[in-house]
Every structure is written in structure tokens, then in C-alpha cells.
Amino acid sequence: MRMGSSGFRKGPATPFEQGLQALAERHYDAAIGFFSAAADGTDRPAEALSKRGVCYLRLNDPHAAAADFEAALRADPKHAPALTNLGNLALEGGRLDEARAHYEAAIAADPEYPLAHHNYAVLLKREGRIGESVRELRRAAKLENGSFWDFLSGRRRRG
């Protein structure tokens, strides 16, 4: 956010920032508009498209969400959040092999992205691979800069 001459913060300066604010405030339709503008006029279209997909998920439109995650990957084939979200959609649909491929691709693209490790752990648990699942959860917690138990409870998140 930009600082005015008086030292007080003004509203979000870019459509992407406005989208983030609208998303945080659960104004999903408004956020979709801002992220659409950001995707067309930013140097970060994959991020904007991925965030717009999240808005569609919150509005219970998984088909539009998947289309945005795939569009994000066309803009940046290694965009870990889009890969992770496609994995989530596949996992929810019971397509475990597809989910695994997306999570593994997300981790390969960005080994520091904790949500990919966390969601991969969920898949591993579903498959009964408990030891591997715990290792992935621990890795996710370490990446979040907190303890394993803080991570699971949601008490500690990285900034």
C-alpha cells in the first residue's frame, strides 16, 4: 500500500492489491473483477489468475476455478499455487493419481511452498501412507517457521 504525504495509508494501489483486499473481506465478485484487471495489465498474470480461481472456488464454481488455475499455468507453468489448487480439485474428485501429479509438480516447482507439502500430506494420509504424511506435515510446518503443532492448530503463519 502506498503512504500518503500525511503518513496515513491509502487504499490498495493496484488492481491486484484491491483484489487481495476484496478477497480478504470475502467480497468475491469484486475480487474477481480486480483480479481480471490485474491479469490483463500486470507482470504477474499467473498470480492474478490463480487468486481469481480461488474466488471462484469460494463461490462454489470449481469449473471456473479450474479454468483459471490452468490459465495461470499457461502464463507460468511452474506456478505452485495453481498446481496445488488443481491437486486439491483432483483430490476432492477422488482422482488421487492426478492429485499426486499436481502436488509433486508444485513441490518440484517451489520446494519452499508449504501448502503444497501440507496438501500432499493429506493425500498420503488418505492412501494410508501415514509415516510419509507426517514427514510432509513436518516439512510444511518447518517452512511455515513454526512448530509442527502450531502449524496444525493454525496458530502460527509466516508473514
Q: What are the extents of the domains in the chain?
A: 13-76, 78-159
Predicted TM-score (pTM) of this structure: 0.82
54 — pLDDT class (breaks 50, 70, 90): very high
Helix (H) or strand (E) holding 29: helix 28-41
44 — pLDDT class (breaks 50, 70, 90): confident
pLDDT of 158 over the 60 cut: no
Mean pLDDT value of segment 83-96? 97
Cα separation, 9 vs 84, in Å, equals 33
Tens-place pLDDT, residues 1-11: 444 444 444 66
Would you say domain 13-76 falls under CATH 1.25.40.10? yes
Residue at grid coordinates 469449473: 63
Share of the chain above pLDDT 70, in %: 84
The amino acid present at 60, given as its one-letter code, is N
Residue at grid coordinates 464454481: 61
Q: Which CATH number fits domain 78-159: 2.60.120.620, 1.10.3720.10, 1.25.40.10, 3.40.30.10?
A: 1.25.40.10
